Amino acid sequence: MTDLSHFDPNGASNPNNNIFGLPFTEEDARLVILPVPWEVTVSYNAGTARAADHIFKASMQVDLFDPDTKESWRQGFFMRSPDKKILLKSDYLRKEAELYIDYISKGEVLEKNFFMCKSLKEINEGGKFLNNWVYEQTKQLINRNKLVALLGGDHSIVLGFIKAMAEKHGDIGVLQIDAHCDLRASYELFTYSHASVMYNALNEIPSLTHLVQLGARDYCQEEWQYIKNNQGRVTTYFDKDIKERQFEGETWKQITDEIVSKLPQKVLLSFDVDGLDPKLCPNTGTPVQGGFETEQIFYLLKKVVQSGREFIGFDLVEIGVGDNNEWDANVGAHILWRLANLLVASNQ
């Protein structure tokens, strides 16, 4: 066990310690944060593959007192170093994807270009590799009785994470905070696109019984129709509808109570920061106007736990990296801190 007798939670963070300046090893930590430096299929702004390093640095400025969860951090949080081989593979395939996207966006015929066909095949194989890697890493941690959180990277990284969690827990629900539905059957012919991750999860994981989405405000007709055709399994609270209900007098508590009622007993949170108001994370990959304040989401999560449901894990993705601006990382570090405390506190 880690000796905390000489650790001052009110003092300045020691950058030689782990995330948030905490002195835990992976062996002693209750929660292990797995960073996944991957952004191959991002379709707008890049940078999220390197978010974990920036969040680690920003975490040293986060105060450790959380009145909602007291001192759950004393059970231990530990973040692994980002895997350099995964980052190198992401960087290589990202360059391939940029050339490929530029080519097809101009209306060129894919089959006429051998090199573009080869790039597409490599990118799709890379996505499959990454999903398997995340699955194996998550499964190993679960088998060691660790709580696990995933830190992205783009949203495509979570498929293997959800698979491993579903194997462990049986029937689960995913609560998705996102400006996008991520329900495209494919996007730009990428099988494992960030825009297809929830479609893939629903099709590949039968024990994912419920997907409840919050904040969607940028989606295509294909996704709209998918939601309509799968109303028993997918419930989407569009940003426009939430705001109109509030304009007409409903409180966030009333809406939250309804959202919680749609969730099954075991809940996995998938948190894409573009679900928030973009003033909070302006460098996220695909920002969209509208969205939530952070306290709205934390209030909802508190109500999920108070309802008696099990909060089994979370991912936090799409945090961007700005030029000479650590604001996104600062917001990301504070969100990570609150989520980590809530997860550990609700899994005593």
Task: Please write down the HEC assignment for all residues of the chain.
Answer: CCCCCCCCCCCCCCCCCCHHHCCCCCCCCCEEEEEECCCCCCCCCCCHHHHHHHHHHHHCCCCCCECCCECHHHHCEEECCCCHHHHHHHHHHHHHHHHHHHHHHCCCCHHHCHHHHHHHHHHHHHHHHHHHHHHHHHHHHHHCCCEEEEEECCHHHHHHHHHHHHHHHCCEEEEEECCCCCCCCCECCECCCCCCHHHHHHHHCCCEEEEEEEEECCCCHHHHHHHHHCCCCEEEEEHHHHHHHHHCCCCHHHHHHHHHHCCCCEEEEEEEHHHECCCCCCCCCCCCCCCECHHHHHHHHHHHHHCCCEEEEEEEECCCCECCECHHHHHHHHHHHHHHHHHHHCCC
Q: Is residue 57 part of a domain?
A: yes
- Domain span at residue 69? 25-345
Q: Is residue 7 part of a domain?
A: no
Question: Which CATH number belongs to the domain containing residue 82 in this structure?
Answer: 3.40.800.10
Q: How many CB atoms lie under 10 A from the CB of residue 106?
A: 7
Number of domains in the chain: 1
Q: Is residue 20 part of a domain?
A: no
| pLDDT per residue as tens digits for the range 253-293 | 999 999 999 999 999 999 999 999 999 999 998 999 999 99
At 227, the amino acid letter reads: I
Q: Is residue 13 part of a domain?
A: no
Q: Is residue 11 part of a domain?
A: no
Q: Is residue 253 part of a domain?
A: yes
Q: Is residue 152 part of a domain?
A: yes
- Give the residues of the chain that fall short of pLDDT 50: none
pLDDT the model gives residue 126: 97
Q: Is residue 104 part of a domain?
A: yes
Q: pTM of the full predicted structure?
A: 0.96
Strand-pairing partners, residue 32, are 78, 148
